[in-house]
Amino acid sequence: MKKLKHEAELVKEAIRAGVKYGEGRGVVEFEPTDSATVKIEYIYRLLVHDKLIQPLPQDQVSQQSMRHRLAIWASKQLPKGHPLLK
């Protein structure tokens, strides 16, 4: 798994967009005390359930691989020319 340029920032963007998506669908309400780890896992599973991202093989599911998959998803949601894509 090759690390993306600006991966940490893309993960933050993925969390922001994923929270908005989940709350917009009405399936989750995140609390301010929820950790990033909890949010990442929930958003990953929601996006897989909705078939917006491909699931990881069961033996490869880890916090790091979920973060990477969400970073890729977030990079595809950003408009062309966004600073995080350079």
In tens, the pLDDT along 31-55 reads 989 999 999 999 999 999 999 999 9
Whether the CB-CB separation of 66 and 41 falls below 8 Å is answered with yes
Residue 59 predicted with pLDDT over 80: yes
Q: What is the reported pTM?
A: 0.91
Residue 82 pLDDT class (50, 70, 90 cuts): confident
**CA 26, 52, 46, 17 torsion-angle sign:** negative
- pLDDT value at position 85? 81
> Tokens representing 69?
């998959």
- Residue-level pLDDT at 30: 92
DSSP code for 80: T
Give the pLDDT confidence score for residue 86 in this predicted structure.
79
Contact 15, 44 (CB under 8 A): no
